[in-house]
Structure 1
């Protein structure tokens, strides 16, 4: 919303400058976005007086003028305008002036005659498109005065951001109310005097509203004997300052009232209307109307039309019809002021891509009570500027009379919600200055009547928000709410949200970066990974074609994250994501089954590039270690990893993870041919765990405490030469089943696969410890040898 500071002062006697006014409005929630100076390009133009005009000795269309511009000397200026004459007051651009178009006025010779300046037209000044001649100024203007001062132009314009709920502020009057509230100043409305003449015409015209809920109020007034001509300077320049193009006196008045009072109006040529009546009703399917922009619009029953007795004449609340527009030949004007349902106007304007200043305000709601005042203000200005006569009477239909909401207001409730003390006197004063009526019969529970222009005030909490807004949001103390946890809640089952939050905290605590992705991927992403088409859920209205299906696994999103990181030069990727995956489930109420998953992906360097360690790339042991750590974090038994190449379509090697014999996820390396599409030049290691299954087991886990070990461990390594068909899990399980009392842990620490050999060299570290004493080397070596011999005998390996 563009607000002229000069226009504002006609409503509120505010002496503050533009910046202070903007700051005060900002603190009330109406943000100052910019301060504009629309007439800065002509700030150096001055008022001049044409002393003489003589024909140019070498041109038929040029004239040589002598001009007094208040500089103390008479200037010689060559001018080509046909209407220049001696005795005129005119705008003069002196030598050195930069014009709005960027041209700099210089000393020049025009066909041999020197010229020291330029007499300007309105188009050269950027005031209008009129370039038929120079701009002739009123005779009472003082020579040498700046043109912007002589014309009393609106030189400071505040650009105010208006939130959708504050449609009342889309006018000078609405912002003036806010300024009066901010500065505690009185508000003065324009003095409107409607001088009616002649007989009452309203009995000769009828209004029919077929659906009152779409149009609560519709009214018409008649102005006869008008003369269509340009508006006076003050109106044209004011409209220009706030971004509205002047057209003619009648049309300009409707735009002026729109900006001043926020009420959209429309002027019909009375002589082009037929049937002596106006009908407000929905359009028929396929009905057509040619709007003021010359475009034919095809309508639907969702659109609201204004018809005369024969034809459509306007698209209600959006744009008038071309057939009944005001033209130079118009002599009688029928002025419309109405209220339409916001939803209807918004849908029509959006569907037809036909936004307008009128529809913008109707969409947010206009003041039904104020519409009568706006109508009277408009017709009085029209009569004044066009020489017309206002006929007596107004043709009005108001099938739904506006009634004010009456919410309650409690000071105690205000204190509780705001968390700060507010005085009852301050609350009462604020509500009254907002235009509310107060019934304080019950001092603890007031009855409030809200004003017609504030449709957003319908509940007690709305009134409390107004108190906070006027008091100052910055004055509300920063007090954290007290969070109490009753003792009877201790020991209850952890919520799903709390569990997932702890999982995220675990990932961050390990130094992994959390990824957050859309739940949408493309069919081609799932096809690329070789995932089955069964169970996929298509998105009816996708954001893009690349996001047209709900993901069934986290892998596509994590691989996209890897590609993005590689593209940005990150050669060490360590990500985790906690999110849902989706599968079609006809038995579900939503036809979709959602389950939480933990995704882990590792690529490239294990350490940051700035870390002074030798670069080591992530491998299977690293991603397996994360999974083992996570299972331990959940207080579950150690996971078992079983290699199964056929178990997964896009991982090779693929390892199934089980806990207590139940599968809970998979880890492995993304197949090189698949990873290549994501620009990966090193192995990509990925794990995906079923958090639903792990959570169920976690809820049943029994945590047992034991003293920390006091005595040191003893470690021995054993290297076995085993065929590739023998899995590491089988070897570890065999060692554990030996149930050696002092054996605490078995860990694979090295793997070597010789070339041209079907065997692998696997090195395991055996950790021995006794709780009550330090172990001796002899007994540790004995147990180590027992393990080695058992492996040789039972698994057929070599040591």
Structure 2
């Protein structure tokens, strides 16, 4: 929000300089982002009167002006401005003056005629971009006076960075209320005296949507002069507040909005057919707005309509069909209270915002509508003339102002300082917050109609802190018991998981939990994702139920920027429908929110180097990474062939740990790899973070001093027999037979099949490590064990030993 300091001081003028006032506002929560002067630095420019003007003898477009600068002698100035004329007052840069940009003025000859100074346009003085002619000054300007003084160009422009909850400060009056409360300066309110009614014309207005409009007021004014000039004081304030002067009717409406925080709308009465109806839009209706944009309306958008057409977007922007023009003579002045919930998000849906919607979606005072319309009516009559009709006011559905309680003891505990009861009473009084004090020093405050940010006890404590002064609250270190919190050694938190992934050459990414709906369909097989009511972008419309889509987007982003190797992971929550979930402190009914750990690898398995040939990462590389992540439990990881919407059907697996499903691992499906324009398919995995956060507790065992015996066993097995089946059989027989307790490890080291022969068998070679804790193994005991193992495989799977 931008405004000139002089406008603010017209309402509250504390005995503080600009810098101190700026600091006080900032420390009270109204951050002053920037302060600048109304005009850039320049010197030596005064008000001058053109006394005489004559044509230049050597140039058609130049003229010779005799100018009175208040010194007593006329100066000769050569000027080419088309509006230069005798009798007007204009800025004169005297000899020796310095203009914005460092330009210095001296005596010069222009086509043989001496010129002692320069008459200036607004752009040459840095006041605006207008360079069509000289800047014409008012007839009351004193000749010879400094231009900076005459136009108050040293006025400071404040730019405030407002927080979304302080809608009451989106006006000069609102900021002035804060200044008055902070400094004790008297608050000068404008006059809201009713304007005498001179005609009896009314416009019928029907409010059909009480959840859209809580109060609607308006009046007919006839015979206005829309071509009347906006007063210089109003135009100056508007321009210094960042508003462009358009016409008297529009300027007055903007002025009231900036000064009082009251957005209003002015209809051209002659362009309204019948009466007005306030309602929700019908599906398929359209409206051409004042900005030239034509929008398609939805049933959750409020409108003001006639019997035949929609005339404006309620609380957002008026329509072109009933807009006032310079030919307008009869108007309907409207002011209303629109429910913030009915305005929120609608302007963003149409990809624009307006000053009115910016205020209404945060909450606008609903109690002073008629007073503000009387104030605006007075401005209209004084500037544009006209006859005034009676003010109609419909109160339909206003917000209830629920009292908010604040315990003084709780305030002391939160702030850490014992603010006295009397001082709290003074703070609430200066803020204009009606209150009563109940037993036990409990302040019960009824929020005013312009405060939409006071709901809970902490809101009132914040008000006390702001006005009391954050700088008065001492820096006291917190006091707490130094008690160590214990955590199970078998539990690995999120930081440990991240560290383990980073240690395996993966980089962490953090993606939006909002994703494209196509990602859910293609990568997760989710045809009913959780949709957002108000997405931040059209493509981020649903909540993710898988992390895979975000990781693939990271790979595509890097691949498009010529990165040849990408390894990324993400630890985050996913969101799925689940009717069994009930509301809780960290739960939402019907939505399951588990935490997942996902990773993706693309490109060479290892970074390019001289000692290892380039090889693309494959399933087994990433499987090993997952096993390393699991630590000691990695040996128990089972990969079961299964299908997943995002993964290659023949190169993917469902992961199990101790018989429990924990996630998926595999290559990206060729269809999606081609769609992503990736030359190689990434390998991805997604795990249940809770399942991998618990690790087996280390169990120390005695190390045997006896030598290890290694034996190999090669067998012929059917093509349908898997290594996992054989390993499970061997593990079971070892656990059930005490004689086989000396078998310490088993590895498959060779798989071979004679492709030239038509056979339904494959050769599998196992290596066994045997060791006894107490004695050295002899051949007889070793051979006995090997025979038992072979016998178990033969009986369970019908294999035969390979010679």
- TM-score over 0.5 for the alignment? yes
Unaligned runs of 5+ in 1: none
Distance in 2 separating the partners of 1:637 and 1:669: 22
Query: 1:70 offset after TM fit, Å?
Result: 7.8
Distance in 1 separating the partners of 2:697 and 2:352: 71
Q: Does 1:65 align with 2:65?
A: yes
Aligned to 1:650: 648
**2:360 maps to which of 359, 362, 372:** 362
**2:769 maps to which of 741, 766, 775:** 766
Give 3-state SS (helix, strand or coil) of 1:35's partner: strand
Distance in 1 separating the partners of 2:195 and 2:495: 77
Bigger shift: 74-83 or 454-463? 74-83
Distance in 1 separating the partners of 2:452 and 2:418: 27
Q: Is the contact between residue 311 and residue 318 of structure 2 (CA under 8 Å) also seen in structure 1?
A: no
Aligned to 2:407: 410
Pair 1:713–1:218, CA change in 2 (3 A):
farther
Aligned to 1:467: 464
Q: Is the contact between residue 597 and residue 688 of structure 1 (CA under 8 Å) also seen in structure 2?
A: yes
Q: Deviations over 1:361-418 (max 9, x none)?
A: 33333223333443344344445556x5886975555456787543222223434556
Bigger shift: 371-380 or 430-439? 371-380
Q: Does 1:172 align with 2:165?
A: no
Q: Is the contact between residue 556 and residue 676 of structure 2 (CA under 8 Å) also seen in structure 1?
A: yes
Distance in 2 separating the partners of 1:649 and 1:586: 28
Query: 1:433 offset after TM fit, Å?
Result: 1.9
Distance in 2 separating the partners of 1:257 and 1:646: 62
Q: Deviations over 1:761-790 (max 9, x none)?
A: 9674726362xx5x54xx277766666676
Bigger shift: 427-436 or 100-109? 100-109
Aligned to 1:446: 443
Q: Does 1:327 align with 2:326?
A: yes
Give 3-state SS (helix, strand or coil) of 2:636's partner: coil
Q: Deviations over 1:261-287 (max 9, x none)?
A: 1123445678x5999x97554488588
Alignment of 1:559-578 (within 5 A): 561-562=554-555, 564=557, 575-576=568-569
Distance in 1 separating the partners of 2:205 and 2:423: 47
Distance in 2 separating the partners of 1:395 and 1:470: 39
Q: Is the contact between residue 90 and residue 134 of structure 1 (CA under 8 Å) also seen in structure 2?
A: yes
Q: Is the contact between residue 570 and residue 598 of structure 2 (CA under 8 Å) also seen in structure 1?
A: yes
Distance in 2 separating the partners of 1:723 and 1:106: 107
Distance in 2 separating the partners of 1:363 and 1:688: 41
Distance in 2 separating the partners of 1:81 and 1:241: 26
Q: Does 1:181 align with 2:184?
A: no
Distance in 1 separating the partners of 2:323 and 2:674: 67
Aligned to 1:242: 241
Query: 1:10 offset after TM fit, Å?
Result: 1.8
Q: Is the contact between residue 710 and residue 768 of structure 2 (CA under 8 Å) also seen in structure 1?
A: yes
Distance in 2 separating the partners of 1:553 and 1:238: 54
Distance in 1 separating the partners of 2:626 and 2:354: 60
Aligned to 1:455: 452
Pair 1:241–1:43, CA change in 2 (3 A):
farther
Q: Is the contact between residue 519 and residue 549 of structure 2 (CA under 8 Å) also seen in structure 1?
A: no
Give 3-state SS (helix, strand or coil) of 2:53's partner: strand
Q: Is the contact between residue 651 and residue 670 of structure 1 (CA under 8 Å) also seen in structure 2?
A: no
Distance in 1 separating the partners of 2:683 and 2:710: 27
Query: 1:539 offset after TM fit, Å?
Result: 7.5
Pair 1:111–1:505, CA change in 2 (3 A):
closer
Query: 1:436 offset after TM fit, Å?
Result: 0.8
Aligned to 1:163: 163
Alignment of 1:424-573 (within 5 A): 424-471=421-468, 475=473, 479=478, 504=497, 507-508=500-501, 511=504, 513-514=507-508, 518=513, 520=515, 536-537=527-528, 558=551, 561-562=554-555, 564=557
Query: 1:579 offset after TM fit, Å?
Result: 6.5
Bigger shift: 133-142 or 592-601? 592-601
Q: Is the contact between residue 631 and residue 638 of structure 1 (CA under 8 Å) also seen in structure 2?
A: no
Distance in 1 separating the partners of 2:296 and 2:623: 65
Give 3-state SS (helix, strand or coil) of 2:173's partner: helix
Q: Deviations over 1:611-667 (max 9, x none)?
A: x99999977766555555666666x99345678999997265666765566776665
Pair 1:29–1:116, CA change in 2 (3 A):
same
Aligned to 2:144: 143
Give 3-state SS (helix, strand or coil) of 2:244's partner: coil
Query: 1:22 offset after TM fit, Å?
Result: 4.0
Aligned to 1:77: 77
Pair 1:97–1:311, CA change in 2 (3 A):
farther
Distance in 2 separating the partners of 1:161 and 1:49: 42
**1:375 maps to which of 373, 376, 389:** 373
Query: 1:425 offset after TM fit, Å?
Result: 3.4
Aligned to 1:264: 263
Query: 1:91 offset after TM fit, Å?
Result: 0.8
Aligned to 2:702: 709
Give 3-state SS (helix, strand or coil) of 1:29's partner: coil
Query: 1:53 offset after TM fit, Å?
Result: 2.9
Distance in 2 separating the partners of 1:791 and 1:311: 89
TM-score (norm 2): 0.73
Unaligned runs of 5+ in 2: 583-588
Q: Is the contact between residue 107 and residue 114 of structure 2 (CA under 8 Å) also seen in structure 1?
A: yes
TM-score (norm 1): 0.73
Q: Deviations over 1:154-180 (max 9, x none)?
A: 642222222333221111111122233
Give 3-state SS (helix, strand or coil) of 1:440's partner: strand
Query: 1:746 offset after TM fit, Å?
Result: 1.0
Pair 1:103–1:291, CA change in 2 (3 A):
farther
Distance in 1 separating the partners of 2:477 and 2:529: 46
Distance in 2 separating the partners of 1:646 and 1:345: 43
Q: Is the contact between residue 26 and residue 32 of structure 1 (CA under 8 Å) also seen in structure 2?
A: yes
Query: 1:792 offset after TM fit, Å?
Result: 7.6
Pair 1:420–1:51, CA change in 2 (3 A):
same
Aligned residues: 768
Distance in 2 separating the partners of 1:645 and 1:351: 40
Q: Is the contact between residue 603 and residue 683 of structure 1 (CA under 8 Å) also seen in structure 2?
A: yes
Aligned to 1:8: 8
Q: Is the contact between residue 536 and residue 552 of structure 1 (CA under 8 Å) also seen in structure 2?
A: no
Q: Deviations over 1:74-106 (max 9, x none)?
A: 753222456545565321246798988999989
Aligned to 2:585: none
Distance in 2 separating the partners of 1:572 and 1:713: 46
Pair 1:705–1:86, CA change in 2 (3 A):
closer
Distance in 2 separating the partners of 1:73 and 1:113: 18
Pair 1:583–1:21, CA change in 2 (3 A):
closer
Q: Is the contact between residue 262 and residue 372 of structure 2 (CA under 8 Å) also seen in structure 1?
A: yes
Distance in 2 separating the partners of 1:681 and 1:287: 48
Q: Does 1:54 align with 2:62?
A: no
Q: Deviations over 1:411-435 (max 9, x none)?
A: 2343455676544334323222221
Distance in 2 separating the partners of 1:582 and 1:409: 38
Give 3-state SS (helix, strand or coil) of 1:457's partner: coil
Q: Deviations over 1:99-147 (max 9, x none)?
A: 88999989766554344544234576555869476514445425262x2
RMSD: 5.9
Aligned to 1:152: 152
Q: Is the contact between residue 201 and residue 220 of structure 2 (CA under 8 Å) also seen in structure 1?
A: no
Q: Is the contact between residue 91 and residue 137 of structure 1 (CA under 8 Å) also seen in structure 2?
A: no
Aligned to 1:233: 232
Query: 1:219 offset after TM fit, Å?
Result: 4.4
Aligned to 2:586: none
